[in-house]
Amino acid sequence: MNANAPAILVVEDDPNLLEAISDTLELAGRPVLTAPGGAEALEILAREKLSIVVSDVRMMPMDGIALLKEIRLRNPRLPVLLMTAYADVDRAVEAMRSGACDFLLKPFKPDALLAQIDKYALPDPNAITGVIAADPASANLFGIAARVAQTDATVLLTGESGVGKEVVARFIHRNSARGNGPFVAINCAAIPESLLEATLFGYEKGAFTGAQTAQAGKFEQAQDGTLLLDEVTEMSLPLQAKLLRVLQEREVERVGGKKPIALNIRIIATSNRDMMAAVQKGVFREDLYYRLNVFPILIPALRQRPRDIVPLARHFLTEKGGEIGRPGLSFLPEAEAALAGHDWPGNVRELENAVQRAMILAPGNVIGAECLGLRDGHASMVPIYASRETPPLSESEKTSDNRNMKDLEREHILKTLAEVGGSRRAAVGRLGISERTLRYKLKQYKEEGFFHE
């Protein structure tokens, strides 16, 4: 048992029944807290991490329904399971309308209690692996994702561009019963409309010019696994109609084919657009929207989960450092403060790019704030490589940060050039810039007295 795992709170004014339920849960290895009434339960709620509340309905002076309503105000995501006698079924129905996840009729067997808790309890955020979830918003997000992963429900992931929708999709797949099956992703915005249908549904030999052999589509490739339809709102209306039929019938027919192929797949769709607005504008089918919107999850922007920023940056530093041959890099405290203070309008994708740039510019094994190129936490990035056509900066724009970045850039370019024995072709390969840009930079450094042929 994890001592830091969220506990199950049992609220019951009958001491014998309270002890019996507590013993049942402890024997099953579940962390348990108990309260003899509603007031005591609210005190525990204020100071403890909980996965679910199991409460009796008939209690005095605060009954289970009043407690439920108070919990909904204080922690609307916390599941509440109510226990009730047969005579109080009507009140249990009222409780369901007030937000209870379910109710148990007394007397009940221990297995029935454990089954309901397993069904509704929030997962332990400390048990979430393979993702960064340091912020409570992220822990809640992946907790919900872990719960829906246990079902085959279609999931619709929405959120700003770059928030990590595919990361969440892969997490759901990995934690599902289909985790050993294929995970197939297709970006509906990246494939020309003329090819998207054949890519999705597959085609038979001779179906069109160039179809020299039969080819299974993405739906077939995802058989017994998960298919991610990325940016599904970019799909044309005629193709949306065909997709709707596949989702309804759970079978696909290849282009040029005559035999339907039964599908056993899970669908996850994503969009960075307001899908209801797209429906209202007539660019997305309403019936397809409701077919995909079985279990919607809105992924918060990175600025809405600020505690993730530095852990994510450290993760990218470790991951990318090995790829470019610079392991062991670390951030100085002021660099981490700059990262935490940035708005990140491009979300996780922008953060990853900023870390990679800083790794290239860092002269040693530590990365300072000046290597990040962030302007006072605002969205704009200090330009690193300027072309001939770049207009000169005004005096007010010539900040110390700009000068520091220019110095770091020069040192990095000249150091790289020296490491490759003066080979400009090898240098541009390492630096990721064009030969024209390198020639211009070296000419500039020569005029400034920093470089000699």
Give the per-residue pLDDT at 388: 36
Q: Does 67 lie in the same domain as 14?
A: yes
Kind and range of the H or E element at 419?
A: helix 400-419
Report CA dihedral (437, 327, 354, 418) to the nearest 10 degrees: -20
90's tokens: 């009507």
**Does residue 107 have a cis peptide bond before it, meaning omega lies within 30 degrees of 0?**
yes
**In whole angstroms, what is the distance from residue 415 CA to residue 403 CA?**
18
pLDDT value at position 427? 79
Which of 267, 298, 329 lies at the terminal end of a domain, its last residue? 298
Is the same domain home to 69 and 178?
no
Instruction: Name the domain boundary from 57, 89, 120.
Output: 120
User: Does some domain include residue 103?
Assistant: yes
- Please indicate, yes or no, if residue 349 is contained in any of the structural domains: yes
Assess contact for 186 and 219: CB atoms under 8 A: no
Q: Do residue 340 and residue 432 come from a single domain?
A: yes
pLDDT of residue 448: 78
CA distance 80 to 55: 7
Q: How far is C-alpha 388 from the geometric centre of its chain's CA atoms?
A: 40
Residue 215 main-chain phi, psi, to 5 deg: -140, 130
DSSP 3-state of 178: coil
* C-alpha span between 302 and 67 (Å, rounded): 34
| Domain membership flag for residue 2 | no
Residues 261 and 361 in one domain: no
Instruction: State pTM to two decimals.
Output: 0.64
Q: Are 355 and 316 in contact (CB under 8 A)?
A: yes
- DSSP E strands, 18-134: 32-35, 50-56, 80-84, 102-105
Q: Does residue 212 sit in the same domain as residue 326?
A: no
Q: How far apart are CA 449 and CA 427, in angstroms?
A: 20
What is the structure's pLDDT at 381? 41
Is there a domain that residue 30 lies in?
yes
Domain co-membership, 323 together with 292: no
At 435, which helix (H) or strand (E)?
Answer: helix 435-447
Q: Are 90 and 154 part of one and the same domain?
A: no
Between the CA of residue 80 and those of 22, 25, 28, 118, what are the distances in Å?
16, 16, 20, 13
Please report the sign of the dihedral spanned by the C-alpha atoms of residue 233, residue 235, residue 237, residue 240.
negative
Residues 332, 278 within the same domain: no
CA atoms of 409 and 389, how far apart (whole Å): 19
Same-domain pairing of 217 and 234? yes
Instruction: Tell me: do 157 and 293 sit in the same domain.
Output: yes
d(CA 65, CA 99): 10
DSSP state of 255: B
- Residue 315's domain is classified under what CATH number? 1.10.8.60
| Helices 333-341 + 309-323 axis angle, to 10 | 120
Please choose, from the candidates 303, 360, 372, the residue with its C-alpha nearest in 3D space to the C-alpha of residue 332. Answer: 372
Give residues with Cβ within 8 angstroms of 118, minimum separation 6: none
* Residues 217-222: contacts with CB under 8 Å, at least 24 apart: 217/252, 217/254, 218/184, 218/186, 219/246, 219/252, 219/261, 219/263, 219/265, 220/252, 220/261, 220/263, 221/182, 221/184, 222/181, 222/182, 222/183, 222/184, 222/265
Would you give per-residue pLDDT tens digits along the chain (453 residues)?
455 678 999 999 999 999 999 999 999 888 999 999 999 999 999 999 899 999 998 898 998 989 999 998 888 878 899 998 766 666 666 767 778 888 888 888 999 999 888 888 877 766 677 888 888 888 888 888 988 998 999 999 999 999 999 999 999 999 999 999 999 999 998 888 878 988 999 988 887 777 788 889 999 999 999 999 999 999 999 999 999 999 999 999 998 888 899 999 999 999 999 999 999 999 999 999 999 999 999 999 999 999 999 999 999 998 888 787 888 889 999 999 999 999 999 999 999 999 998 998 888 889 998 888 886 444 334 444 433 333 444 444 444 434 455 677 788 888 888 877 788 877 777 776 767 778 878 888 887 777 776
- Claim to verify: residue 267 and residue 205 sit in the same structural domain: yes
126, part of any domain: no
CA distance 451 to 55: 76
- Whether residue 453 lies inside any domain: the answer is no
- Whether the upstream peptide bond of residue 61 has omega within 30° of 0, thus cis, is yes
Helices (H) and strands (E) in the chain, counts: 19, 16
Start-to-end Cα distance in the chain: 67
Closest-CA residue to 101 (of 80, 74, 119)? 80
Give the domain-ending residue among 255, 280, 298. Answer: 298
Look at residue 107 and tell me if it is in a domain: yes
Q: What is the largest CA-CA distance in the chain?
A: 94
How many folded domains does the chain comprise? 3
Q: Is 183 a domain residue?
A: yes
Q: Which of 339, 404, 413, 327 is nearest to 365 (CA)?
A: 327
pLDDT at residue number 423: 83
Domain that holds residue 20: 7-120
CATH code where residue 215 lies: 3.40.50.300
Domain harbouring 67, CATH code? 3.40.50.2300
User: Is residue 115 located within the same domain as residue 177?
Assistant: no
Identity of the residue numbered 441: K
